[in-house]
Amino acid sequence: MNAIETLGLSKTYGGGPFGSRVDALRNVSIDVGEGEAFGLLGPNGAGKTTLVKILLGLVHPTDGTAMLLGEPAGSPKSRTNVGYMPERREYPDFLTAAQVLELFGRLLGMDKQARSRRIDVVLEEVEMSNWRDHRVGGFSKGMQQRLALAQALLPDPHVLFLDEPTEGIDPLGRVSIRGILRRNLEKGRTLFINSHMLGEVELLCDRVAILVKGRVRREGPLSSLQAPNPEYRLVLAATDDEARAALAATGDEHEVLAAPPGRSAWRLSVSDRGELNAALDRVRQSGIEIEEVQRVRASLEDVFVQTISDASSEDSEAGLPGGARSDQAGDADPPAPADEPTPVTVTTETMS
Amino acid sequence: MTDAAISTLGSPAVSGARLTLQQLGALVGYTIREARHKWTLVALFVLTTLFLVGLATVISVDVVEGMIASARLFGTIPLQIGGNQISIADAVTVIQVAIVSLLSTFGLVLSLFVTGNIIPRTLRTGWVDLLASQPVARITLVLGRALGAIAVVTLAVAYLFGGSWLLLTWKTGFGNAGFLLAGLTVLFTFACCYAGMVLVGILTGSSPVSIIAGIGIWFLGLILYPLHTYSEWTTAFRAGWPRSLASGIAETLYWVLPKTLELTERASQATRLESISLTPMWTSLPFPLICLALACWWFARQDY
Pick the residue from chain B with its C-alpha nearest to A56: B133
Please give the Cα distance from A117 to A123 (Å, whole number): 10
Contact A58 B133 (CB under 8 A): yes
Q: Does B144 touch chain A (CB under 8 A)?
A: no
The radius of gyration of chain A from alpha carbons, rounded to an integer in Å, stands at 24
Higher pLDDT, B67 or A27: A27
CA distance A298 to chain B (A): 31
Q: Which of A222, A227, A218, A228 is nearest to A204 (CA)?
A: A222
Which helix (H) or strand (E) covers residue B78, if one does?
Answer: strand B77-79
- Interface with chain A: mutation pick from B122, B129, B301, B302, highest number of A CBs within 10 Å: B129
Over the range A38-66, which residues count as b (16 or more CB within 10 Å of their CB) and which as e?
Answer: bbbbbbebbbbbbbbbbbbbbbebbebeb
Does A84 reach chain B within 8 Å, measured CB to CB?
yes
DSSP B225-266: HHHHH-GGGGGGSPTTHHHHHHHHHHHHHHHHS--HHHHHHH
What pLDDT shows up at residue B71? 62
pLDDT of residue A136: 93
Q: Give A344 or B151, the one with higher predicted confidence.
A: B151
Binned at pLDDT 50, 70 and 90, residue A36 comes out as very high
Do residues A123 and A104 lie in contact, with contact meaning Cβ atoms separated by under 8 Å?
A: no
Cβ contact B125:A90 at 8 Å: yes
| Contact assignment for A109 to B9 by CB distance below 8 Å | no
> For position B4, what pLDDT does the model report?
40
Query: How far is Cα B135 from Cα A80, in angstroms, rounded to an integer?
Result: 5
Q: Quote ipTM for the complex.
A: 0.82
Confidence label for A318 from pLDDT (cuts 50, 70 and 90): low
Mean pLDDT throughout A197-225?
Answer: 86
A33 reaches B (C-beta below 8 A) = no
Q: At what angle do helices B260-271 and B88-102 cross, to 10 degrees?
A: 160
Determine the pLDDT at residue B78. Answer: 56
Nearest to B9 among A59, A77, A156 (CB): A156
Do the bridges between strand A63-68 and strand A215-221 make them parallel or antiparallel, or are there none, so unpaired?
unpaired
Residue of chain A whose alpha carbon sits nearest to that of B303? A59
- Between A316 and B189, whose confidence is greater? B189
Mean pLDDT calculated for residue range A50-64: 93
The runs of H, that is alpha helices, within chain B are: 3-8, 16-37, 40-58, 88-102, 108-115, 118-122, 128-132, 138-172, 177-204, 207-229, 241-256, 260-271, 279-284, 286-301
**pLDDT mean across residues, chain A:** 83
Distance CA B17, CA B24 (A): 10
Interface of A with B in 133-152 (CB under 8 A): 151
Contact B130 A86 (CB under 8 A): yes
Most confident of A286-290, B151-155, B166-170, B238-242: B151-155
The residue with greater pLDDT, A249 or B18, is B18
Helices A97-107, A112-125: crossing angle, 10 deg rounding: 130
B262-293 as b/e: b if 16+ CB within 10 A: bbbbbbbbbbbeeebeeebbebbeebbeebbe
| pLDDT computed for residue A52 by the predictor | 93
- Cβ distance B12 to A80 less than 8 Å, yes or no, reads yes
At residue B224, the 3 state secondary structure works out as: helix
Average pLDDT over residues B32-47: 84
* Interface mutation target, options B20, B31, B130, chain A, most CBs of A under 10 Å: B130
Residue from A55, A100, A107, A160 to probe the interface with B (highest B Cβ count within 10 Å): A107
- Closest by CA position to B31, among listed B200, B198, B149: B149
Beta strands in chain A (DSSP E): 2-13, 22-28, 31-33, 37-41, 63-68, 71-72, 82-85, 159-163, 190-194, 207-212, 215-221, 231-237, 253-257, 264-269, 289-298, 346-350
Q: Which residues contact B222 (CB under 8 A, 6 or more apart)?
A: B260, B261
Q: Is some CB atom of chain B closer than 8 A to the CB atom of A107?
A: yes
- Report the pLDDT value the prediction gives residue A199, as an integer from 0 to 100: 81
**pLDDT at residue A350 tops 50:** no
CA-based max dimension of chain A: 77
Pick the residue from chain A with its C-alpha nearest to B139. A76
pLDDT computed for residue B11 by the predictor? 52
**Minimal C-alpha gap between A168 and chain B (Å):** 16
Alpha carbon distances (Å) from B194 to B188, B216, B258, B259:
10, 11, 11, 14
d(CA B2, CA B22): 32
Q: How far is B216 from chain A (nearest CA, A)?
A: 29
Q: If you ran DSSP here, which 8-state letter would residue A136 be given?
A: G
pLDDT of residue B209: 96
Q: How far is CA B207 from CA A51, A251, B108, B290, in A?
A: 30, 74, 17, 21
Residues of chain A with C-beta less than 8 angstroms from the C-beta of B13:
109-111, 114
Closest CA to B284 of B203, B197, B217: B217
Q: Which residues contact B102 (CB under 8 A, 6 or more apart)?
A: none
Query: CA of B37: which chain A residue's CA is closest?
Result: A94
Return the amino acid letter for B199. L
Nearest to A39 by CA among A150, A215, A200, A223: A200
Residue B137 contacts A where some CB pair is shorter than 8 Å? yes
Per-residue pLDDT tens over the stretch A87-129:
888 899 999 999 999 999 999 999 899 999 999 999 999 989 9
Please give the pLDDT value at position A349.
Answer: 41
Read off the pLDDT of residues B92-104 as tens digits, 9 standing for 90 and up. Answer: 888 889 889 988 8
Q: Do A111 and B14 touch (CB under 8 A)?
A: yes
- What sign does the CA torsion over B46, B48, B51, B55 have? negative
Quick one: pLDDT band at residue B119, thresholds 50, 70, 90?
A: very high
Interchain contact, A91 vs B301, CB within 8 Å? no
Residues near A228 by beta carbon (within 8 Å), at least 6 away in sequence: none
Residue A135 phi/psi, 5-degree rounding, is -70, 145
**A71 chain-B contacts, CB cut-off 8 A:** none
Share of chain A above pLDDT 90, in %: 38
Q: Report whether pLDDT(A347) > 80.
A: no
Size of interface A-B (CB pairs under 8 A): 125
Task: Render A324-350 in DSSP notation, one character per residue.
Answer: -PPPTT-PPPPSS-TTS--PPPEEEEE
What percentage of chain B has pLDDT greater than the value 70? 86
Q: Is A83 on the interface with B (CB under 8 A)?
A: no
Across the interface, of A79, A106, A111, the residue whose CB is closest to B133 is: A79
| A233 to A86, A236, A265: CA distances (angstroms) | 42, 10, 7
B17 touches chain A (CB under 8 A): no
Q: Strands across the sheet with A231-237, in order?
A: A253-257, A264-269, A231-237, A289-298, A346-350
Long-range pairs for A242-245: beta carbons < 8 A, 24 or more residues apart: A242/A286, A242/A288, A243/A283, A243/A288, A245/A286
A45 interfacial to chain B (CB closer than 8 Å): no
Cβ distance A214 to A28 under 8 Å? Answer: yes
Spatial separation of the C-alpha atoms in residues A39 and A7, rounded to whole Å: 18
User: What number is the average pLDDT over the span B159-169?
Assistant: 89
- The closest CB to that of A109, out of B14, B38, B127, belongs to B14
Q: How close is the nearest chain B Cα to the Cα of A100, in Å?
A: 10
> Which tens digits make up the pLDDT trace of B210-238?
999 999 999 999 999 988 888 788 788 87
Query: Chain B window 23-52: which residues touch A at a Cβ cutoff of 8 Å?
Result: 23, 25-27, 29-30, 33-34, 37-38
Q: Does A22 contact B at CB distance below 8 Å?
A: no
